[in-house]
Amino acid sequence: MSYKVAVVGATGNVGREMLSILAERQFPVSEVVALASTRSTGTDVSFGDAILKVKALDYFDFSGVDICLMSAGSAVSKEWSPKIAAAGAIVIDNSSQWRMDREVPLIVPEVNADVLNSGIKKGIIANPNCSTVQLVVALKPLHDAATIKRVVVSTYQSVSGAGKAAMDELFRQTRAVFVADPIEKDKFTKQIAFNVIPHCDVFLDSGYTKEEWKLLVETQKILDPDIQVVATCVRVPVFIGHSESVTVEFEKPLTAERARAILRAAPGVLVIDKREDGGYITPLEAAGEDATYVSRIRKDPTVENGLSLWIVSDNLRKGAALNAIQIAESLINRKLLKGMR
Ligand SMILES: NC(=O)c1ccc[n+]([C@@H]2O[C@H](COP(=O)([O-])OP(=O)(O)OC[C@H]3O[C@@H](n4cnc5c(N)ncnc54)[C@H](OP(=O)(O)O)[C@@H]3O)[C@@H](O)[C@H]2O)c1
């Protein structure tokens, strides 16, 4: 079988990564269509060795499309995902628009792909937020072993998580510092070059940011509604790769040694954990890779059953594009997709 795939947001950080991963994994495509706003009509994007001309979402007819990988933000998804699903495609959406909708599965294949068997009522599947994906990939096997009660997480999130304009801003500001040009701010309200900003997404009345709230509610929806999560999300001057310092409290005892062995056997996880200089992963090394890396596994001596970990992954790949394509592969494996012989 092969499938007609549309990528909406094909000129963006996540969309370009989607095209590259579709080609890399030899996803069974009969045709790939690259879509973006009218601003990008006619521009070129790469799909493996091929070049695709970008078409405008506004004028595209979705009939015949089997899968739509949607990565153009919440407003576009709100308007378009239901229309695209009504035209017969399954939409896998990267925005936060549908994640908490009870009728929309929120999927990380290593963790909860079986939820897909219960039906895709709206024709839409949501991809979680990038910081949630890597967190639940690492936490799921530990939860199965010792039941997680509470998670305290501080994130160190790369600028690519805020889109391509944010990457350009870090680049421009870094250059401006070296050549003593004035610093211009646009995507970030404070200078991001040579700085860290304790603010990702908008502020909520609670005092938390929406990014911090997403880590709580998405982890509960994917893993277990009884898990408590408190988060501090921080933007750092890294181009690609989100890092997380995570402390987990369990109901049952779990030693660092056993956790290390469990994580070594877990799908999607690579453990790099030598207690010596450089014996851990950094975002620079995780960029371009598929795994969720876990380092610095150690006992938290301040609670009865606690562990601390360092979790790093490429936010554009496992945090977005790769996870979406793995969802599409899960649909194929479960025979939940129409296609063409
Ligand atoms: N970056 C991450 O780590 C990450 C992780 C998880 C989820 N996400 C989510 O994925 C989505 C895309 O993120 P990104 O980082 O790829 O952003 P981006 O680099 O800013 O790209 C945005 C894409 O959306 C397109 N777009 C914007 N308005 C449009 C419209 N009216 N009609 C059609 N296309 C439109 C843009 O096309 P033009 O080039 O024509 O403007 C571009 O292709 C967002 O919802 C984001 O929250 C991102």
Tally the C-alpha atoms within 13 A of residue 27's C-alpha that lie toward its C-beta.
Answer: 30
Is residue 130 among the annotated active site residues? Answer: yes
All residues at 6 or more sequence positions from 55 whose CB lies less than 8 Å from its CB, including other chains: 33, 34, 35, 41
The finding on whether 9 has its CB within 6 A of some atom of ligand 1 is yes
Residue pLDDT tens, the chain, 341 long = 999 999 999 999 999 999 999 999 999 999 999 999 999 999 999 999 999 999 999 999 999 999 999 999 999 999 999 999 999 999 999 999 999 999 999 999 999 999 999 999 999 999 999 999 999 999 999 999 999 999 999 999 999 999 999 999 999 999 999 999 999 999 999 999 999 999 999 999 999 999 999 999 999 999 999 999 999 999 999 999 999 999 999 999 999 999 999 999 999 999 999 999 999 999 999 999 999 999 999 999 999 999 999 999 999 999 999 999 999 999 999 999 877 66
What's the gap in Å between 139 CA and the centre of ligand 1?
A: 28
Tell me which of 37, 58, 211, 243 to substitute to probe ligand 1's pocket, judged by most ligand atoms within 8 Å of the beta carbon.
37
Look at residues 62, 104, 102, 105 and name the one whose alpha carbon lies nearest to residue 85: 62
Give the 3-state secondary structure of residue 284: helix
The finding on whether 15 has its CB within 6 A of some atom of ligand 1 is yes
The finding on whether 14 has its CB within 6 A of some atom of ligand 1 is yes
Residue 334 phi/psi, 5-degree rounding, is -95, 5
Place of tokens 């910081």: 131
Amino acid at 116: L
Tell me which of 7, 14, 35, 84 to substitute to probe ligand 1's pocket, judged by most ligand atoms within 8 Å of the beta carbon.
14
Look at residues 306, 318, 330 and name the one whose alpha carbon lies nearest to residue 148: 306
What's the gap in Å between 76 CA and the centre of ligand 1?
A: 9
Give the 3-state secondary structure of residue 39: helix
Q: Which of 68, 130, 200, 233 is catalytic?
A: 130
Taking only Cα atoms into account, the Rg of the chain, rounded to an integer number of angstroms, comes to 20
pLDDT of residue 259: 98
The finding on whether 19 has its CB within 6 A of some atom of ligand 1 is no
- Closest atom of ligand 1 to CA, residue 40: 40
Is residue 143 among the annotated active site residues? Answer: no
Q: Which of 68, 143, 233, 242 is catalytic?
A: 242
Torsion sign over Cα 18, 23, 24, 26: positive
Look at residues 161, 306, 150 and name the one whose alpha carbon lies nearest to residue 231: 150
Tell me which of 35, 71, 95, 106 to substitute to probe ligand 1's pocket, judged by most ligand atoms within 8 Å of the beta carbon.
71
* Neighbour tally for 225: CB within 10 Å: 8
- Give the C-alpha separation, 229 to 223, whole Å: 12
- Give the C-alpha separation, 19 to 170, whole Å: 24
The finding on whether 13 has its CB within 6 A of some atom of ligand 1 is yes
pLDDT of residue 148: 98
All residues at 6 or more sequence positions from 103 whose CB lies less than 8 Å from its CB, including other chains: 121, 122
What's the gap in Å between 289 CA and the centre of ligand 1?
A: 21
What's the gap in Å between 143 CA and the centre of ligand 1?
A: 33
Task: Answer yes or no: are the C-beta atoms of 210 and 130 closer than 8 Å.
Answer: no
Which amino acid residue places its CA nearest to atom 15 of ligand 1? 163
All residues at 6 or more sequence positions from 147 whose CB lies less than 8 Å from its CB, including other chains: 250, 251, 252
Q: Give counts: helices (H), strands (E), the chain.
A: 9, 14
What's the gap in Å between 242 CA and the centre of ligand 1?
A: 18
- Give the C-alpha separation, 201 to 340, whole Å: 40
- Give the C-alpha separation, 48 to 18, whole Å: 11
- Closest atom of ligand 1 to CA, residue 72: 24
Q: How far is CA 132 from CA 57, 127, 218, 315, in A?
A: 28, 10, 7, 10
Tokens of 227: 């898990």
What's the gap in Å between 287 CA and the centre of ligand 1?
A: 19
Tokens of 255: 């030693």
